[in-house]
């Protein structure tokens, strides 16, 4: 180690103790071990400050050399007291390094500049994000278990945490933009030319939805009668058919599977109209380049098609494009007839596991007739308008998909038969899916019970009609020049966004949601979104070799335990941690470290 001296324009000299070290692939580097300050601050304290701090550098060099071989004395009669916890997690440091490279600390310093706050906004946000990834729970749980991390998160109260949620909510859209911009330093340019959009919902463990205060026009207002946002916690079609109130999320993802942005909306609102606001915001704030939006059939509406792409009649349509899933069973008669007709081609392609599979397909360019809502000048009410749009339609057949559809329908039909024989065993919730195969069924609006006295019959015609389309699926697009294989490959990327929802629900345990105001719900999902981006960026840095579950498991296991007054022993290491260390320039395979060395490793 040596004394670093930097002369400033005012004649003063900045002092620090630095050391040199070697990085594979980079060569010689140096880092600051101890920041001292300016020479003028020490002239009255030491006769020769330069000589004093040179001696300090020599002492630190000697101490470091001695630390390499240290004897630790252990009292074999020591006993554990209740509440003892000498183990700390250091695996969070890998995610913390991605967090540091995103410069999120600078973001919160910018957003809280000039505000009087009794806590560190950046520290508290970091605690919420890292806990969501590695030890998820309620805000109280997070606060009570913050000592799992090696880094101390002191001087934080539950009131501070809830105050911070308000600040996060105020800045969550700017945070999304900041993360997108700064992530490009980690993984390179993030093109939005092909972007994936999907919606999911998260439930609240409460019995009743929130009720909005409404004005005379039916619009939400606050207690003072001022316009307000509709409350999020409403009943809607929960993914697992739970009756609890939910909040909906729309998520936009780039072609590499890294989240770009998200929006929340009340659980009783249709997802079909919520793609447009997030796309408008992304094009206004992130990138105004042309985007091809990939979404499942739930977003495939006439209005969404026309809003994105217009009539698609020109040779060089500069409007945004789409690749949508298309239901065959729910399509019009002409489309169904085309799907069932012949002229399919068979090609060999690769599946997700690198295995060769058959791709049975055909396509056409077709003038699709749409009924769209348009607003006429001088009128606030939309009117229907008939338009024709040019669309490429691709149909394909999969025997595996056919077997799955048959099996799922057979299960529903078997339950429908049992329902006809024993209607008192079922209600609106438990009959879901099966009731669609029963004629004359009705449910009590209050209780959800099946109405008595009706002649329940199995709908054999519907069963036979559905069976005709087993195994067939369709994808439609505005991109008329795409090949069928290209359309297939682009659409398959939607599985990545479904996996992101799974990560938030399974690994991050983002549901049930424990907070209840709109602002705190927004803040909760801002921390979930940030944690999701961190793990996706880390996944990309590692070359997408490892699934998220394995990465998180390795980070959770990378712990250290104190075995001496200033000696910590690391207890776990694997290939994922080795890769993390190599890619992020973090030496993670050292078995014994001092507290100061761990602090340098974790950058705090």
Q: What is the distance between the alpha carbons of residues 188 and 186, in angstroms, rounded to a whole number?
A: 6
424-432 average pLDDT score? 91
Q: At 62, is the pLDDT very low, low, confident or very high (cuts 50, 70, 90)? A: confident
578-592 average pLDDT score? 94
Domain-embedded: residue 90: no
Count the domains in the chain: 2
pLDDT in tens, 143-169: 999 999 999 998 899 999 999 999 999
- pLDDT greater than 70 at residue 25: no
Q: What is the per-residue pLDDT for 143? A: 95
Q: What is the distance between the alpha carbons of residues 175 and 158, in angstroms, rounded to a whole number?
A: 23
Q: Which residue has the higher pLDDT, 215 or 533?
A: 533
Domain-embedded: residue 507: no
- pLDDT greater than 70 at residue 24: no
Residues 393, 363 contacting (CB under 8 angstroms): yes
Q: What is the mean pLDDT of the chain?
A: 92
Domain-embedded: residue 10: yes
Calculate the CA 426 to chain-centre distance.
37
Domain boundary among 26, 54, 69: 69
Domain-embedded: residue 323: no
Q: What is the per-residue pLDDT for 108? A: 96
Domain-embedded: residue 43: yes
User: Which residues make Cβ contacts (< 8 Å) with residue 299, sequence separation at least 6?
Assistant: 197, 198, 199, 271, 272, 275, 324
Starting from the edge strand earliest in sequence, which strands make up the sheet with 321-326, in order?
Answer: 259-266, 246-253, 194-203, 292-295, 321-326, 472-477, 382-397, 356-375, 345-350
CA nearest 143: which of 133, 156, 132, 130? 156
Domain boundary among 69, 90, 113: 69
Q: At 67, is the pLDDT very low, low, confident or very high (cuts 50, 70, 90)? A: low
Q: At 278, is the pLDDT very low, low, confident or very high (cuts 50, 70, 90)? A: very high
Domain boundary among 69, 89, 106: 69
Q: What is the per-residue pLDDT for 60? A: 87
Residues 279, 291 contacting (CB under 8 angstroms): yes
Token output for 71: 């004897």
- Extract the runs of DSSP E, i.e. beta strands, from 286-409: 292-295, 321-326, 345-350, 356-375, 382-397
Q: At 364, is the pLDDT very low, low, confident or very high (cuts 50, 70, 90)? A: very high
Domain-embedded: residue 52: yes
Q: Which residue has the higher pLDDT, 144 or 24?
A: 144
Signed CA dihedral, 17, 21, 23, 28: sign only: positive
371-379 average pLDDT score? 81
Domain-embedded: residue 11: yes
pTM above 0.95, yes or no: no
Q: What is the per-residue pLDDT for 489? A: 94
Q: At 52, is the pLDDT very low, low, confident or very high (cuts 50, 70, 90)? A: very high
- pLDDT greater than 90 at residue 241: no
Q: What is the per-residue pLDDT for 452? A: 92
Domain-embedded: residue 40: yes
Residues 134, 146 contacting (CB under 8 angstroms): no
Q: What is the per-residue pLDDT for 23? A: 65
259-272 average pLDDT score? 94
pLDDT in tens, 440-495: 999 998 899 999 989 999 999 999 999 999 999 999 999 999 999 999 999 999 99
1-14 average pLDDT score? 91
SS3 111: helix
pLDDT in tens, 320-360: 999 999 999 999 999 999 999 989 999 999 887 788 999 99
Show the domain range for 422. 403-467
SS3 575: helix
Q: What is the per-residue pLDDT for 481? A: 94
Q: What is the per-residue pLDDT for 78? A: 86
């Amino acid at each position: 180690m040596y004394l670093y001296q930097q002369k400033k324009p005012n004649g003063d000299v900045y002092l620090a103790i630095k050391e040199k070290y070697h990085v594979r692939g980079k060569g010689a580097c140096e880092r600051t071990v101890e920041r001292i300050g300016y020479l003028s601050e020490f002239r009255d304290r030491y006769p020769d400050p330069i000589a004093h701090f040179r001696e300090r550098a020599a002492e630190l060099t000697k101490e470091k050399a001695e630390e390499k071989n240290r004897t630790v004395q252990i009292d074999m009669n020591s006993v554990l007291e209740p509440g003892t916890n000498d183990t700390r997690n250091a695996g969070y440091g890998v995610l913390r390094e991605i967090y540091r490279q995103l410069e999120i600390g600078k973001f919160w310093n910018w957003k809280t500049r000039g505000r009087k706050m009794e806590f560190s906004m950046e520290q508290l946000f970091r605690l919420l994000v890292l806990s969501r990834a590695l030890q998820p729970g309620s805000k109280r749980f997070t606060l009570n278990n913050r000592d799992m991390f090696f880094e101390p998160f002191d001087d934080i109260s539950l009131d501070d945490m809830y105050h911070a949620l308000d600040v996060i909510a105020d800045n969550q859209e700017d945070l999304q933009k900041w993360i997108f911009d700064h992530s490009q330093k980690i993984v390179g340019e993030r093109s939005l030319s092909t972007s994936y959009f999907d919606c999911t919902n998260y439930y609240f463990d409460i019995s009743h939805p929130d009720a909005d205060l409404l004005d005379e026009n039916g619009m939400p207002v606050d207690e003072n009668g001022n316009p307000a946002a509709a409350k999020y916690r409403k009943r809607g079609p929960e993914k697992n058919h739970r009756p609890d109130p939910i909040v909906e999320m729309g998520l936009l993802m780039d072609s590499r599977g890294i989240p770009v942005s998200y929006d929340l909306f009340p659980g009783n609102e249709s997802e079909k109209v919520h793609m447009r606001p997030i796309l408008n915001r992304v094009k206004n704030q992130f990138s105004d380049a042309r985007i091809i939006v990939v979404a499942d059939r739930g977003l495939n509406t006439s209005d969404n098609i026309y809003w994105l792409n217009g009539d698609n009649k020109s040779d060089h349509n500069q409007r945004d494009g789409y690749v949508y899933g298309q239901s065959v069973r729910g399509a019009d008669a002409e489309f169904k007839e085309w799907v069932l007709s012949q002229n399919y081609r068979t090609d060999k392609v690769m599946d997700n596991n690198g295995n060769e599979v058959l791709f049975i397909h055909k396509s056409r360019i077709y003038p699709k007739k749409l009924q769209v809502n348009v607003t006429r000048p001088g009128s606030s009410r939309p009117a229907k308008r008939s338009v024709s749009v040019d669309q490429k339609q691709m149909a394909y057949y999969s025997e595996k998909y056919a077997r799955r559809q048959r099996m799922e329908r057979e299960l529903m039909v078997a339950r429908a038969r049992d329902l006809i024989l024993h209607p008192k065993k079922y209600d609106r919730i438990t009959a879901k899916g099966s009731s669609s195969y029963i004629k004359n069924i009705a449910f009590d609006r209050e209780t959800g019970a099946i109405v008595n006295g009706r002649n329940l019959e199995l709908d054999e015609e519907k069963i036979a009609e559905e069976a005709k389309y087993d195994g067939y699926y369709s994808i439609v697009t505005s991109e008329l020049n795409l090949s069928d294989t290209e359309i297939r490959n682009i659409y398959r990327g939607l599985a990545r966004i479904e996996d992101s929802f799974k990560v938030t629900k399974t690994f991050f345990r983002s549901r049930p949601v424990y907070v209840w105001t709109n602002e705190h719900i927004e803040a909760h999902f801002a921390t979930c979104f940030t944690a999701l981006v961190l793990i996706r960026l880390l996944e990309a840095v590692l070359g997408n070799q490892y699934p998220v579950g394995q990465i998180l498991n390795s980070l959770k296991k990378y712990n250290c335990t104190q075995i001496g007054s200033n000696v910590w022993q690391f207890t776990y290491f694997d290939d994922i941690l080795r890769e993390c260390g190599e890619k992020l320039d973090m030496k993670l395979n050292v078995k014994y470290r001092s507290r100061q060395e761990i602090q340098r490793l974790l950058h705090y």
